[in-house]
């Protein structure tokens, strides 16, 4: 009997298997793609939190400087009262030095507060921008994940439909040939049959013996590649 019609059906079956494999590969990659999206969002959240912490730190430092500023002002007031009541010239000079020192410290602290206020204002813009960008990214990631989930649902429906078609198609092929194909396919790259290309195996590229080529022309029996063991089919 000429096996060519059945081998052609077998090749069509392999096309079903390739489609199923490709779809399943896409499905298998989806979780990692979703995870990558989530990671990018988490990274952006961490960046935003870091900027917010820096903003809070600057405000906290400003409050500390303001407390120190108030402390210097109180010291100046205390020294001024003390200055009005001292009787010794040496003590008077000493208190006067304390006042000058306190005023100098107060002026330095005031400059530091002004610098901090400038930094806080700039940091406030940075934080606001980071928060806005984070909101945009959260929305985008949510939409992307939703699209991924819908895409996966479509792929799952598609693979179910192809598998159903495959099951119907394989009924046209004898169980003996089917078993040979499945055995080879499981041990190789998911393919069990290939065309002969210019006297070479279309699966592995190995040059074929003339005897195998002649046998494949006759199609009276299954012919296998000596190298990759795939079933050979003439174009």
pLDDT at 4: 95
Strands 193-197 and 231-233: parallel
Integer Cα distance of 119 and 55 in angstroms = 9
Task: Enumerate the domain spans of the chain.
Answer: 19-171, 174-234
pLDDT at 187: 78
Q: Give Cβ neighbours of residue 159 (< 8 Å, ≥ 6 apart).
A: 20, 23, 24, 27
Which of 60-64, 82-86, 190-194 shows the lowest per-residue confidence on average (mean pLDDT)? 82-86
What's the pLDDT band for 190 if we cut at 50, 70, 90?
Answer: confident
Mean of all residue pLDDT scores within the chain: 94
CATH architecture under which domain 19-171 falls: Orthogonal Bundle (1.10)
H or E element, residue 58: helix 4-85
- Residue 207, classed as helix, strand or coil, is strand
What's the pLDDT band for 235 if we cut at 50, 70, 90?
Answer: confident
Evaluate whether 9 touches 195 at the Cβ level (below 8 Å).
Answer: no
pTM attached to this predicted model = 0.69
Terminal CA-CA length for the chain: 19
pLDDT at 14: 97
- Dihedral pair phi/psi, residue 193, rounded to 5°: -140, 145
- Partner residues linked to 233 by β-bridges: 195
- Whether the pLDDT of residue 191 is over 90: the answer is yes
């Amino acid at each position: 009997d000429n096996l060519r019609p059945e081998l052609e059906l077998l090749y069509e079956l392999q096309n079903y298997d390739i489609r199923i494999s490709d779809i399943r590969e896409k499905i298998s990659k989806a979780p990692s793609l979703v995870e990558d999206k989530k990671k990018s969002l988490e990274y952006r959240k961490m960046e935003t939190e870091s900027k917010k912490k820096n903003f809070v730190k600057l405000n906290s430092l400003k409050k500390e400087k303001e407390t120190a500023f108030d402390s210097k002002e109180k010291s100046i007031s205390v020294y001024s009262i003390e200055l009005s009541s001292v009787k010794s010239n040496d003590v008077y000079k000493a208190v006067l030095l304390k006042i000058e020192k306190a005023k100098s410290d107060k002026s330095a602290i005031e400059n530091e507060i002004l610098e901090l206020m400038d930094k806080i204002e700039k940091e406030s813009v940075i934080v606001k921008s980071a928060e806005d960008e984070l909101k945009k990214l959260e929305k985008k990631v949510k939409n992307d994940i939703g699209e991924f989930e819908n895409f996966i649902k479509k792929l799952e429906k598609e693979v179910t439909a192809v598998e159903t078609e495959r099951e119907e198609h394989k009924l046209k092929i004898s169980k003996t040939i089917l078993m040979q194909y499945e055995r080879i396919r499981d041990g190789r790259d998911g393919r069990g049959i290939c065309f002969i290309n210019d006297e070479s195996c279309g699966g592995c590229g190995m040059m074929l013996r003339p005897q195998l080529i002649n046998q494949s022309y006759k199609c009276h029996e299954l012919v296998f590649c000596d190298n990759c063991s795939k079933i050979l089919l003439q174009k």
